[in-house]
Chains A and B, each alone.
Chain A
Amino acid sequence: DIQMTQSPSSLSASVGDRVTITCRASQSISSYLNWYQQKPGKAPKVLIYAAPSLQSGVPSRFSGSGSGTDFTLTISSLQPEDFATYYCQQSYSTPWTFGQGTKVEIK
Chain B
Amino acid sequence: QVQLVQSGAEVKKPGASVKVSCKASGYTFISYAMHWVRQAPGQRLEWMGWINVGNGDTKYSQKFQGRVTITRETSASTVYMELSSLRSEDTAAYYCARVSWVAVPGTRHYWVDPWGQGTLVTVSS
Chain A positions within 8 Å of B, measured between CB atoms, are 31-32, 34, 36, 43-46, 49-50, 53, 55, 87, 89, 91, 94-101
A32 touches B61 (CB 8 A): no
Across-interface contacts of A44 in B (CB, < 8 A): 45, 95, 115
Known: A98-B47, A99-B44. Contact between A49 and B111, CB under 8 A? Answer: yes
B59 touches A94 (CB 8 A): yes
Known: A95-B62, A98-B44. Contact between A43 and B115, CB under 8 A? Answer: yes
B111 touches A91 (CB 8 A): yes
Q: Is the interface of A mostly helix, strand, loop or mixed?
A: loop
Q: A44-B115, A46-B111, A50-B111 are in contact. List 9 more A-B contacts (CB 8 A).
A: A32-B109, A43-B95, A43-B115, A49-B100, A49-B102, A49-B109, A98-B44, A98-B47, A101-B45
**What total of chain B residues lie within 8 Å of the partner, measured CB to CB?**
24
A32 to chain B, nearest CB (A): 6
Across-interface contacts of A96 in B (CB, < 8 A): 35, 47
Known: A49-B109, A50-B102, A53-B102. Contact between A98 and B116, CB under 8 A? Answer: no
